[in-house]
Chain A
Amino acid sequence: MSKFKKKKAGGSPGISTASLPDIVFMLLFFFMVSTVMREVTLKVEVKRPKATEVNKLERKSLVSYIYIGAPKKSFQDQFGTADRIQLNDAFATKNDIIQFVEAEREQRNPAEVPLMTFSFKADVDAEMGIVTDVKQELRKANALKINYSTYKTDNILE
């Protein structure tokens, strides 16, 4: 006579799925919190260059982006293939920069305006002429903190 009953043979016990919603909710909250919705639709082709000595851009709420590159295929019949500036959702010229800077400043807390950064998202194949123009306009608008958006790599020379 044995004290221990033999387990019933065969038939795996069903796994309880009661905690599945909890797990899924956990993941859901994680992604909800970490998601940044894309604010603009890119109308220009931007392939960022690579660099090794990069800094992280902190305080994303204080960063405004200026996109520079050749218009995407669908816009080329209208805007050509020369490099263009894109501010927010529209093509712009260098004369719009000062206004753009002012508009961006107005959206921020006045105390934080000096901390604002303007980030260049320019294409590797863009020419420096247009970038220099934008830089000059930013200087005129007294927006002196800039950032050249790049990918981080370990070696740029290959």
Chain B
Amino acid sequence: MARRQAPEINAGSMADIAFLLLIFFLVTTTMDVDTGLTRRLPPPIEEPLEDIPEVKQRNVFQVLVNANDDLLVEGEPMDISNLREEAKNFIVGDPNFQDPEMPEGKLTPLPILGEVMVSKQIVSLQNDRGTSYDMYIKVQNELVAAYNEVRDEFAQRKFGKTVKQLEKDAELSEKAEMQLDVVKDFYPQRISEAEPKNVGE
């Protein structure tokens, strides 16, 4: 018997099948990149601390948000649009650390700069259970923005680069990495959230 030749497969409908699949994936694809504010929670407290370290009033930038989304900053009502500027003023503080309203300085050894006075600033944030999530994110955002802007200005002044540039360069050069550390250590991001108080439980 003569061997039959294998018939060629008709590939004409391949495109149709591929199109079908393509359309399926096109429709199901969601291309949103997940972005957000990254934060770190404080570790859990096992027992109530006996001696809570005292923090002087002048070192604390107090931000309170009530259930009506009103802000009280350092005892004064404030609009959210002014928060960033106020926070920046506080974080930078008085260059000589003499102003009794502004945070104190602490002698700290840093790479490159040597022993310098670093502000003991802390930002304290307390919100009510009824505060809206939107407002909370806004406040958090403004506080982070204040730190970022202060750091940026400092990095520009000292090293002639923004923090973003430093971060980019840090992957390649050790010097940039050290400079980045200096910037972060000079203005450490201290946003403390008050322990929630359970009143009716």
Contact = CB atoms under 8 A, between A and B. Distances in A.
B35 A54 contact: yes
Interface string B110-131: 0000000000000000011111
Chain A's interface: helix, strand, loop or mixed, by majority? mixed
Nearest to B138: A156
Contacts of A119: 34, 36
B80 interface: yes
A35 to B, nearest CB: 5
Given A21-B14, A28-B21, A128 B129 contact: yes
Given A31-B29, A125-B132, A147-B36, A51 B22 contact: no
Contact of A24 (B22, B36, B42, B131): B22
A127 B129 CA distance: 7
Report, as a range, how many residues of chain B touch the other chain: 35 or more
A122 B28 CA distance: 23
Nearest to B128: A128
B15 A53 contact: no
B52 interface: no
B145 interface: yes
Contact of B129 (A56, A57, A132, A146): A132
A27 B134 CA distance: 39
B136 interface: yes
Given A127-B131, A127-B132, A148 B35 contact: no
B39 interface: yes
A61 interface: no
A146 B40 contact: yes
B137 interface: yes
B25 A32 contact: yes
A152 interface: yes
Interface stretch (A74-82, A99-107, A135-143): A135-143
Contact of B28 (A35, A124, A135): A35
Contacts of A24: 15, 18-19, 22
25 contacts: A17-B15, A20-B15, A35-B28, A35-B29, A51-B37, A52-B145, A53-B144, A53-B148, A55-B37, A55-B38, A60-B34, A124-B134, A125-B132, A126-B132, A135-B41, A139-B41, A139-B42, A139-B44, A148-B37, A148-B39, A149-B35, A149-B36, A151-B35, A152-B35, A157-B80
